[in-house]
Amino acid sequence: MNYNIVTTPKRVVIFGRSGSGKSTFAAELHKILNLPLHHLDKHFYQSNWASRNYQEFLEIQQRIVNNNLWIVDGNNTKSLEMRYKRADLVLYFNYPRWLCYLRIFKRLFYKDSAIDDRAEECRETIRLDLLRYMWSFENMVAERINLLKEKYPQTQFVEIKNNRDLKNFKNTILSKPHEQN
């Protein structure tokens, strides 16, 4: 599949099911495009997975997306529109459920230390609510995605369903000359 990316994106949203490879790819894209990278989990959670005040979290996100250059990795679907409407490119990582489950269990034993996507003292863990969230993720976001695609047609939306899609997307991005930001 070829992706019609006309210009190098300057504001990128990456979201999808846990374990789909969002944070790993966000770190890779950060190196390719030299854009500031923001992992939402680092802003949503405080130490030991304690949630930050939601209004404060929204204010942090708003400050991020008010900038002209960024990659934002993470879900928080309630505030997805805040990021989506300012993005040049939205990447939806929609890998198979079984693979995402396998990956989150693998992360318990092997966490790539180069991926700094957690707040202080938020160790890798698997909770029943995470497994439920992962199971219903596609259904939970399908309508919202369709509404956002209609409302913001200027924002390019790319669904990545497997490693072949990801490889093709990377080749598209790598084939573009990139400005130094």
Instruction: Give me the residue spans of the domains in the chain.
Output: 11-174
Averaged pLDDT, 6-15: 88
Q: Which residues pair with 153 in a beta bridge?
A: none
Averaged pLDDT, 6-11: 82
The SS3 assignment for 36 reads coil
Which of 1-15, 74-88, 141-155, 162-176 comes out lowest in average pLDDT? 1-15
Report how far apart, in Å, the C-alpha atoms of 58 and of each of 37, 92, 93, 134 are. 17, 21, 23, 23
- Torsion of the alpha carbons at 150, 153, 158 and 159, rounded to the nearest 10: 0
Looking at the chain, the whole-number percentage of residues with pLDDT higher than 90 is: 55
- Indicate the CATH number of 11-174 among 3.30.70.260, 3.90.180.10, 3.40.50.2000, 3.40.50.300: 3.40.50.300
Averaged pLDDT, 50-59: 82
Which of 3-7, 66-70, 153-157 comes out lowest in average pLDDT? 3-7
Q: Which residues pair with 70 in a beta bridge?
A: 11
Averaged pLDDT, 68-89: 94
Q: Which residues contact 164 (CB under 8 A, 6 or more apart)?
A: none
* 44-48: long-range contacts, CB 8 A cutoff, minimum separation 24: 44/74, 44/76, 44/119, 45/118, 45/119, 45/122, 46/119, 46/120, 47/119, 47/120, 47/121, 47/122, 48/121, 48/122
Computed over every residue of the chain, the mean pLDDT equals 85
